[in-house]
Amino acid sequence: MLQDDFITLTLEKTKNIALIAHDNKKHELMDWCKEHYETLKDHKLCGTGTTARMITDQTGLPVKGYNSGPLGGDQQIGAKIVEGRIDLVIFFSDPLTAQPHDPDVKALLRIAQVYDIPIANTKATADFIITSPLMGQVYEHEVINFNKNIQERAQSL
C-alpha cells in the first residue's frame, strides 16, 4: 500500500470516546470516570463489555457496550476506528499481567496509531487528554484515506 493519500478527519465538539480497562485497572478507570463525569457526560461513550457495564452501573453514564475484551471487544472497537467512528480511546491496560487476548490488544493499539487516534494507557495521559481545550472544539487532522481502498475495490467487483 502506498501511504500517499490522506483525507481530513473532522472531530466534532462531541467526541466518540471508547473506554476500556483490564481487570486490575477497572477500579482506577471507575474513579477516573467519576472524577471527569462533568466532561464525559457531554460526549458519546462506548467500551468493551464488562468495562462499559461497570461504568454505567457506578456512574450512571450511558456507555454502549461491545463484547468483552477476551471475546472480541477490542477488535470491535478497532473496527470502529477503521470506520472513522471513534475519536479517542481511554484504555487503562495492565502492564503487569499477561492477557489471553494480547494479540487483540496490540492490534487495537496499532490501528489507533495508524489513524492517529489519541489513546491514553494511563491515568495521567487520560487526564491530559480529557482536560485539553481541544475536547470542546472541532478538531481536524489528516489521516490515511481509509475509504480509498473500499472505493477502489467496489469499482473492481
User: For ligand 13P, which residue of 29, 45, 86, 105 counts as binding (CB under 6 A)?
Assistant: 105
SS3 letters across 95-113: CCCCCCCHHHHHHHHHHHH
Residue 37: name the closest of 7, 61, 72 by CA: 61
Residue 55: name the closest of 47, 67, 108 by CA: 47
- Judged by beta carbon, residue 69 or residue 118, the one nearer ligand 13P is 69
- Judged by beta carbon, residue 100 or residue 133, the one nearer ligand 13P is 100
User: Would residue 74 show up in a list of annotated catalytic residues for this protein?
Assistant: yes
- Judged by beta carbon, residue 121 or residue 145, the one nearer ligand 13P is 121
Which DSSP symbol is given to 12? Answer: P
Give the count of residues interacting with ligand 13P (CB under 6 A).
12
Binding residues for substrate: 22, 26, 48-51, 68-69, 101
**Residue 115: exposure state from Cβ atoms within 10 A (0-12, 13-18, ≥19):** middle
CB of 84 to ligand 13P, least distance (A): 21
Q: Cα separation of 1 and 50, whole Å? A: 36
- Is the CB of residue 118 less than 8 Å from the CB of residue 91? no
Q: Spot the catalytic one: 42, 57, 74, 102.
A: 74
| Segment contacting ligand 13P by CB under 6 A, of 32-40, 42-50, 121-129, 132-140 | 42-50
59 binds ligand 13P (CB under 6 A): no
Summarize as ranges the residues that interact with ligand 13P (CB under 6 A). 20, 22, 48-51, 68-70, 73-74, 105
